Copies of this chain bind each other. A is one copy, B any other.
Amino acid sequence: MKSTETLIHARWVIPVAPRGTVLENHSLAIDEGRITAILPDNEARQTFRAQRTVELAHHALIPGLVNAHTHAAMNLLRGVADDLPLMDWLQNHIWPAEQKWVNEQFVHDGTQLAIAEMLRSGTTCFNDMYFYPEATARVAAGAGMRVCAGMILIDFPTGYADNPDEYLAKGLALHDEYRHHPLVHFSFAPHAPYTVSDQPLSRIQVLAAELDLPIHMHVHETAGEITDSLRGCGQRPLQRLQQLGLVSPSLVAVHMTQADDQDRRQLADGGASVVHCPESNLKLASGFCEVQKLLDAGINVALGTDGAASNNDLDMLGEMRNAALLGKAVHGDASALPAADVLQMATLNGARALGLADAIGSLQPGKWADITAVDMGCLETQPLYDPVSQLVYAAGREQVSDVWVAGQHLLRKRELTQMDLPEIAQRTVDWQQRIAASDRHQ
């Protein structure tokens, strides 16, 4: 008998790679935070003596979900001003609230709330873009959560930094601080083509190549963005990024509700990734991303929720479901965006976008044990003809029973093991009361 730290026996193991594989009655062994073996249940019981054994008789094990676009701290603004026209929402509610309230403590508390929600819904890694990424990184590391923290950059001054140089300097110092941390990864996060000028974008392009880091950016979120750019500089935003050398495997282009054939060719030829955020695109009436066409062009498409102010949750199971449903209607074909493709978008494709595909995104020996278990025994996922289909189309966030990140059992039978929920709840209420009082006066 070999010894191992943790042995998980599950009804189904859905490793994502190879695509479409569903292993029945299999077990997964974890040692030193990594997956060491995946093998039939009966073999596993004969092979391993485990310090901890977890029996998941009605569950599917999947790679931990990778939320490829978040503004985690904005959880504190969940539902603060819904159902408003986009510019009213931004100019009279979200931006004033951010200007007034966002500081390091806000980001700390909001990110804690967000991580608790993400773990409870099966997410093990989030790709974040927000002010004070030092707070985001600290909270994630403390909670045992995997994060790709964005070194944010925007042309105009905020409470966080005064100018592009200061944004970059702060981001790079933070990156240095966490250089060898197993859970905290980094991206450059220039906000959007229309808020970052050429000079800092060129610097980011050089630095991203040197440091081998992704560039996380909102690109082509709305039709208006294209029109404005054509009017302003005679180019589509992606064309400008292309000329600046940014359309490369580093680029993580978020939203892309507007993509013509040339855009798709540029993204595909450059090896860039797209992050699809269906619920945010719907809620803000940003447009419809033609995901199947992106996939058909060979582009790596990941999945994200965006911030809770435009969603209003961080539930990647729900996001997968809506990506699959919407993808069919947008493509005009009920066979578009099948469940297995969407599950891959929410796991391995997210990992690829972040340059982490060797480390996470699928259940394979050698990768980190970032794992989510979903209880498929509930009424809502019965009868069960196909576990992948039920996972995407019928399972709810409440069916996520257990979550591990780098082998740490962070959610156990729906209980968060490392987070102080009553304290998070109290801080959330405190912020809510202050923010609500001030939003009413807008």
Contact = CB atoms under 8 A, between A and B. Distances in A.
Interface in A201-240: none
A287 to B, nearest CB: 7
A425 B287 contact: no
Contacts of A435: 383, 385
Interface stretch (A79-87, A142-150, A262-270): A79-87
Interface string A350-364: 000000000000000
Total copies of this chain within the assembly: 2
Interface string A282-314: 111111100000000000000000001001110
A325 interface: yes
Contacts of A89: 334
Interface string A403-442: 0000000000000000001001100110110011001000
A328 B282 contact: yes
A279 B392 CA distance: 13
Interface stretch (A40-48, A153-161, A393-401): A393-401
A282 B393 CA distance: 12
Contacts of A285: 328-329, 331-334, 336
Given A83-B334, A282-B326, A382-B429, 4 more contacts: A83-B339, A283-B325, A385-B439, A397-B398
18 contacts: A79-B386, A79-B394, A81-B385, A82-B386, A83-B324, A85-B335, A116-B379, A283-B324, A283-B325, A283-B393, A285-B329, A312-B389, A312-B390, A312-B393, A312-B394, A313-B393, A326-B326, A396-B397
